[in-house]
């Protein structure tokens, strides 16, 4: 294994771990991106926004 492959593998594992352990924030954000266009995904986006709201506020209240 070359140094380039080792560094790329470490970066990939780090990004995947960051995304997996991000939990509901990343999951809902990705789902929001793949929900569809403005009209087609409006209902799904509303559901995602309502479901992530309490978790988002609890996780990010320290920003205030």
d(CA 18, CA 20): 6
pLDDT 10s digits, 8-60: 999 999 888 777 776 667 777 777 778 777 788 888 888 888 887 777 666 66
What pLDDT sits at residue 24?
67
Q: CA 11, 60, 53: angle at the middle one, nearest 5? A: 105
Considering just the CA atoms, what is the radius of gyration of the chain in Å?
16
In the structure, what pLDDT confidence band is assigned to residue 6 with cuts at 50, 70 and 90? very high
In the structure, what pLDDT confidence band is assigned to residue 61 with cuts at 50, 70 and 90? low
What pLDDT sits at residue 53?
75
């Amino acid at each position: 294994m070359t140094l380039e492959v080792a560094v790329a593998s470490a970066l990939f594992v780090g990004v995947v771990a960051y995304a997996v352990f991000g939990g509901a924030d990343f999951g809902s954000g990705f789902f929001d991106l793949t929900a569809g266009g403005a009209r087609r995904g409006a209902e799904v986006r509303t559901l995602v926004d309502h479901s992530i709201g309490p978790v988002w506020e609890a996780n990010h209240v320290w920003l205030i």
